[in-house]
Structures are given as structure tokens and as C-alpha cells.
Amino acid sequence: MSYCCECNGANEPKVIEKTLFNLLATCEKNENLLKAYMLDFFVEKHWDILPQKWTKVLEKLSPEELGHWVLYPELYNSYSDVWPLSLLALRSTVQHLSLERQPLKENWSKPPLGFRQSCPHRDFLFKSKEEPLNKKLFSKHIKPKKFHEIEIMAQMTANCASRLGCEFVIDIGSGLGHLGRILAFHHGLQVCCLEEQRCLTEKAKKIDEQLIRCLKKIENEKKPPVHINKSIHSALNKDELIKILMDAFGLESETKLKFGLVGLHPCGDLGPTLMRLLTNCENAVFLNLVGCCYMKMADQNNGEDIQGYPMSGFVQHHPQNILSYEAREVSCHALEMYCDRLKNGCVDDLKVHCYRAALECILVERMPELKHSGLKSIKHVQEMSFEKYAVEAVEKLKIKLPACDLDTDDVKEKLSRWMRVVIFYSLRLLVAPLVEAVILLDRLLYMDEKGMNAMLIPAFDPRFSPRNHILVALKEKQSSQTCD
């Protein structure tokens, strides 16, 4: 099968390869930031790895100024101090190489890197259905953030299915089935939801039944989604998947099964698994994928035959292609939300990293074997004293810390340095988008290498959904029309 050609210009594979080359070089140059654990801030003396010229300027900033500088670098011109060129160069590099994160809708005047002006109808992804979605009906049991994602993902999925003449959609890692429910009952697609956890599958079926009772009152007779309890692993045989789907949809002939794949924040290697299913299975014709939990992907360090990163041949053969676990973990953090808290002066909320780092120091000094132990997750830390936080946090370890260890002059001195912890964490968040850009562009190049017509779309509000890029890949026959 031949696929739609791509427009020449800034999104050619060679340009993306050059960007990836620069991204990987920048990540390696800033490895000291990307590989640092925040809980080791005091144990490993992270503050000392920063150039003194940087710390001299950064320590003079208020939290509000720091938040503005990380997100809006042009603001540094308003500060009277002379900024180190190396720090300004880093901020400029990040701004230049990061993927666009603001939602891209119908404004195609300057498509960002990774967006392909596909031929011939480049606006098809956001075309709305004539009949508006009954939000009151479909938003039950869903938090506003999740509904924001699902509504957009469902519309784009329905548009891809319509474009390719496809009536079947497979939602992998479907959870409670909210996305599949909108695709089935609102967009009229036949949907199969595959979910590993049986408790979620059973609850999804109950929500379906509740919705069907409501829809009967408005004479909606569309088919409900089919829910199947199934774990999708990286070595899944495509014939096994086809058999599952034919049974789910009651089909007798495989030739009638033409389906799209969707994954809304599948964890770790599940995203790359969906990409391989698309490229290896002839019946699969499109994929809409939003990644998540990049640190859980298998990489070359795991010795796995099937890797989640790197995927493209270009990155696999690049000498600087290593992304540490810590780097991939910080790339999943919420940059915009954190900077908003800085800009709003919510400093009490930001001290949790300092509390955790100070507690780690105490644990390592008394019981080195407990280094990097998982502690109890504590809510409302900003309302607690350090002593109360420490006592509750170690409950999971079933140990009791002496009260005298929690109220020393050394501990008080560390806690007074909380702004240094905030600054260091902000610098890590500053470079974190470079790591995600490497991972997403690696996936995009993989699709290129497999002959797919693929795009990266910043679709969600990053303040609601920090992982907001949808990888759209289509098996689309070459059009006789020319590109715009």
C-alpha cells in the first residue's frame, strides 16, 4: 500500500532528524539536571553542581519572577542583574527545540514541528459533528480534566474513522470505558474496549447500562461498546488480536474488519505496542495515541528485545540516544501548573520537595539501606510541620524516627533553603520538555520509516493535561491531488 506524500518544508524527516540531533546533544549536556533526584538534593549536594553565576542571579528571584522566567523567557530583560550567557543560552535553546504545547485547532498558519499538512484536507481532524455532544449525559462519573481529553480525542478519532471509511475502533487500556462510550453512543462507531483490570471492566459495563436507560428515553439505539478483560503485551500476535475482535463484533470474515486504534495515556510500553500493532496489522488503518509514564518504557539498558525507546532507526543509531530513567520521569511532570503556582506565590505548596529531601538526609544518615525508599503519600503537606510530615511519611516503612532527629539545627538550616530546592526543580522542569520532544519525535520518525502519514498534534490544554500531544498516524492511499 502506498501512502499520502508529505508537504515539503519545515516538517520533512531530515529537518526532524536534525532537531533530534540537537535535542539529544542538549539533553546530554544537561545530564546533571536531568539525572538528579529531587529527594537527593541535600544528600548529593545538588545545589553545588550549578554554576555559581547561575545561582547568584536565580537566588535573587522571587517565586513569582522565577515562574514567569521559566515560561516566558522574554521577561528576563526587566531584571537589573546581568544574566549569565550560558543560562540565557539554555533557556533560548529550550524555547527553540521544544514542541509547541498550546492547543492547535484550526489555526494552521504556522504549523509547529511534527504537524504535517496532510493532503488534501488538513483541517479534517477538528471538524465537529453536526449534532452537539450531550455533555450533561456523557460527563457523569468523569472529572472535568478527563472529560476535556475524552471529548477532543473522541472527535478526532471519529474524524479519522470517517476519513478512512472505518466503522470499528479499539480502545486499548480503556479503563472505565468513557472514551469508548462517546465513540459508540454519540459518534455511532462500533467499539471494543480492552482493559487489563477486571474490576474496571465490570464497572464500565454498569455505567453502559445506566447510560442505555437514559438514551432509550431519547430513542438512541446505537450499539454499546464491547468490554473485554484483556492484557495487551508487547509480543501480542496480530492474529490473536484479530480473533478477539472478530468474536467481539460477531464477524465471520476478516476482510470486513477495518479498525482504528486509540490509546489515551496508555502507560509505558503500551503506547509503542499500539504503534507496532498499526504497522504490523493490515486490518488496522489508523492510530490516535497520547503517551504517558515514559519512565516505564523498556529501553536499551533493559536488555529487552522489544523497546519502547528508541523506536526509530535514526535514534537507535545515534551515539547520544540514552535517556535516563530520571530524565524520562521528569518529562512527565506538569510544567505549566507548577509555574502557575510559582507565579501565584503559592509557596507553601512548593515546600514538599524540601521536606522530602530533608527527610531523605535523615534516613540515609541513620539507615543507609532505606535510601530511595517509597514513603507514604501525604496530602495537604503545606498545612503540616516538618516533624508531623516526617512521622506520617515513614509509617509505610514501619519505623519510628527519634523526635530529636527531626528538630536539629541542621534540619532547620536545610528547611530554610527551600527556595534553592524550588529553583533546582524549576531548572529540571525547564529542560524536561526536551526529553519529551525526543521521545515523541522518535515515535514520529518511526512512523515515517514504516511509511505512515503521521502527525503530532498539541490538542489538550497543557494546564489540564500535561501530556497533551496526540500522535495521529493514518494508512492513507496516495492522493492524486497536490499538497497545499
| pLDDT at 231 (0 to 100) | 83
Which residues, in sequence order, are bridge partners of residue 190? Answer: 168
Distance of CA 305 to the CA centre of its chain: 24
| pLDDT at 480 (0 to 100) | 37
| pLDDT at 118 (0 to 100) | 43
- Comparing C-alpha atoms, which of 153, 210, 142, 148 is closest to residue 175? 142
Residue 399 neighbours by CB under 8 Å, 6+ apart: 367, 370
Which residues, in sequence order, are bridge partners of residue 473? Answer: 287, 454
pLDDT along the chain (484 residues), means of 10: 37 84 96 94 96 94 90 65 89 92 66 52 67 86 90 94 94 94 94 94 92 76 88 79 92 90 93 93 95 87 71 93 94 93 85 94 94 90 90 91 92 95 96 96 93 89 92 73 36
| pLDDT at 1 (0 to 100) | 31
- Comparing C-alpha atoms, which of 387, 389, 327 is closest to residue 352? 389
Residue 81 neighbours by CB under 8 Å, 6+ apart: 57, 60
Residues 381 and 393: beta-carbon distance below 8 Å: no
Residues 342 and 373: beta-carbon distance below 8 Å: no
DSSP 38-101: GGGTTTTTGGGGS-HHHHHHHTTS-HHHHHHHHH-GGGGGG-SSPPPHHHHHHHHHHHHHSPP-
